[in-house]
A = this chain, B = another copy of it.
Amino acid sequence: MARTAGSHAETTGPKVRAVALRLFARYGYAAVSMRQIAAEVGVQAGALYNYTPDKQGLLMSLMQGHMHDILEARQATSSEGDAVQQLEAFVKFHIGFHLARPEALFVSYMELRNLEPQNFARIEALRRDYENELEGILARGAAEGVFTLDDPKISTLAIISMLNGVVNWFRPDGRLGLGDVEQIYWGMVRRAVGAAE
């Protein structure tokens, strides 16, 4: 039966996070008010504080959740094979994961400056963990002589930047599908690191 007030914790909690993610991605953390989030969730602003200690906690929770999700998914996908195969798996994983949740990527990269110092440090540490996965692959391939790299550290950051850009233009109903995008970016990355076909 319909109620305008009462217990809805099981549906409201996830909804708050989903709405906040969407609004933060679209307008930016600082530009979105708690009242705006509440309105889209369908509650009054005060009710939000049953699910987050404050606005900063909500942002932190979203970013931390995203980093944990991607690290967990990466571990589950982690592939065997030589450095080239591992790089291909990483590239396609990264693209597929983020095209499925572009808003999480937007927030995670654009709202770092809105994190309080302690929160910033924690997210940065998780991000480095993730980037180290790629750097490890590049370093291994370079050591084995299958990659041509001037600098594994910079190459890592350059590749991540290139891959992240995909969420800026990709549209699910556009001319390219996920498979096409994976192939195009994998081709560019493979050549960029000098790996033979």
**Chain A contacts to B: CB under 8 angstroms:** 26-31, 110, 113-114, 148, 150-151, 154-155, 157-162, 164-166, 168-169, 176, 181, 183-185, 187-189, 191-194
Q: Are B165 and A114 in contact (CB under 8 A)?
A: no
Q: Are B169 and A165 in contact (CB under 8 A)?
A: no
Interface residues of A, dominant DSSP: helix
**Copies of this chain, how many?**
2
Q: Are B184 and A148 in contact (CB under 8 A)?
A: no
Chain B contacts for A188, CB-based, 8 A: 150, 155, 158, 192-193
Nearest Cβ distance between residue A21 and chain B, in whole angstroms? 15
Chain B contacts for A110, CB-based, 8 A: 110
Chain B contacts for A31, CB-based, 8 A: 29-30, 114
Nearest Cβ distance between residue A84 and chain B, in whole angstroms? 14
Using A27-B113, A188-B192, A189-B192 as known contacts, list a sample of 11 further A-B pairs with CB atoms less than 8 Å apart, ordered by residue number in A: A31-B114, A148-B191, A151-B184, A154-B176, A154-B184, A158-B165, A158-B188, A161-B162, A162-B162, A162-B165, A192-B192
